[in-house]
Each structure stands twice: as C-alpha cells, then as structure tokens.
Structure 1
C-alpha cells in the first residue's frame, strides 16, 4: 500500500471532479490524501513518496489561483524531490492550441526540475473531445498505479 497525495489546481471545478475520481479509484489499494488547497508547509515533501497533480489551465495558459502559492514556494525553496514519483492529469481546451494543458505541463516541468520522477505519461484532457474527464481519468489512473 502506497501513501499518495493528490494535489488539485482548479478554477471551475473540473480538476477537482477528476481528483475526486482519482481518489476513489486509488483508495481501493492505497492510502490517499486529497489536497484541494495545496500548501507547501502542510505537504511536507520530505516525507512524501508519490504525488498526483490534477491541474486545469485557465486564461492564457495560467495556473489556477489555488495552486500558485504552492508552485511559487517550490520555485523559491527548491527542495530536492528526487525521492518523489508523480503523475499529472492536465486539463485544457484544444481550441486554445498554443496553451493547451499549459498549467499541467508547467507543474510537470517544475517537479521534474526539482528531481521528481514522473511515472508514465502525462494524461492530457481536452474539454472539447472528452466531455467526461473523470471517467477517462479513472482508466488512466488504474494503468498509472500499476507502474508504481
């Protein structure tokens, strides 16, 4: 059994809906903590092994407001995250092709720059073609968890 933290970056609630679905699936075999307002100090990255980030993109490719403080703290503190394995569910809209899933891509790049190792591929959700992102995310996380 693995202890998994799910971090949510959301504006409209879609990333939260996906995170809830991820939690439901993962709780069948793992300890899961869902962080709707992820806080750098509360997360204690030194004691974490596995993270999933469910992050939407809004505006012109920006991070959701609730996850900006966490990302800013990671950039400022620059902790060694080489002991962490992680997955990313990035939500976006392909009609904004230049910034499609940009926030999820940015969080992915930030974690990698701090030494964390992504497990599997980033799961990118397109609001135009995937009207039920939580269902697609359930399938993705089952495959992802097998790679841990």
Structure 2
C-alpha cells in the first residue's frame, strides 16, 4: 500500500484540523496515512513517502508556526534528499495581512528548490472569507487525488 504523510503547521489548530479531515480522503484513495503535528524534517526524509501533503498556516509576518519552524529552517539551511517527492500544499492565511499565506508560499518554494514536485495547484484558504477551512480543503482534496 502506498504511503502518505500529512504535515500540519499550526498555531491555533486550524491546520491540524484540516490535516485530520484529509486523512480519510487519502485512505479512501488507497494510501496508508500518517499525520504529523510536531514534524521534524527527519519525519519526511527518514522514509520518504509516496505522497506528502502540507497544511500550513502563517503567523507573524508570514512566518512558520512554532510547531513547524524547525522543519522549515532545517530544510532551508541544509536541504533534503526529496527529489521526486510528490506533494500537495494547503496554505491558510488572512488576506488582510500583506504576508497572506507567506509560510505556505515559502514552503512551496523550498520543496521545489530541493526537487519535490507539486501535484496540482496550491490551495490558499482565506480566513476572512472561509469560516470552516476543512470543508474547502476536502473539496480541493477530492479533485486533487484524481490528479495522482
């Protein structure tokens, strides 16, 4: 069975809720799924999955949330053997800030820089327009898994 890892970068739990809601969708698509809420880069690289999904909220000036900062900084500083990794990315943010979805956009750049291949488009969910981000993420995921 192919493996999928879902990584949640969250401050108040919204991205983790999205990650947990995505789990059944990927399981129905035939993946064995693990969700990481305190991820380290080694969680991705020690055993590269067939698929990775990143649910990333932004904090401060478009920064990574504290639970994801080590992951992102290690990837940025040292790189990672992730060439060929297929991934999807859901960025959560607030468009009233100039750094809207800044952490998700930055992670997308880093993953691409080290050879990972995004499948489909990045989903950006705006907190000023969407009350329950997990529903928009599920709608995206149902279409996204068809691209795999």
The answer to whether TM tops 0.5 is: yes
Structure 1 gap ranges (5+): none
Q: What does 1:59-70 align with in structure 2 at a 5 Å threshold?
A: 59-70=60-71
TM-score under structure 2 normalisation? Answer: 0.93
Structure 2 gap ranges (5+): none
Identify if the C-alpha distance between structure 1 residues 45 and 142 changes in structure 2 by more than 3 Å, giving closer, same or farther: farther
What's 2:91 paired with? 90
Output the CA distance in 2 between the equivalents of 1:21 and 1:118. 20
* Secondary structure in 1 matching 2:28: coil
**Residue-by-residue CA offset, 1:86-129 (whole Å, 9 max, x unaligned):** 11000001111x21111100111110010101000000000011
Structure 2 residue 103 is the aligned partner of structure 1 residue 106? no
Structure 2 residue 3 is the aligned partner of structure 1 residue 3? yes
TM-score under structure 1 normalisation? Answer: 0.93
Choose 37-46 or 81-90, whichever is displaced more.
37-46
Output the CA distance in 1 between the equivalents of 2:14 and 2:122. 17
Shift of 1:132: 1.3
How many residues of Structure 1 are paired with residues of Structure 2 in the alignment? Answer: 147
What's 1:115 paired with? 115
What's 2:42 paired with? 41
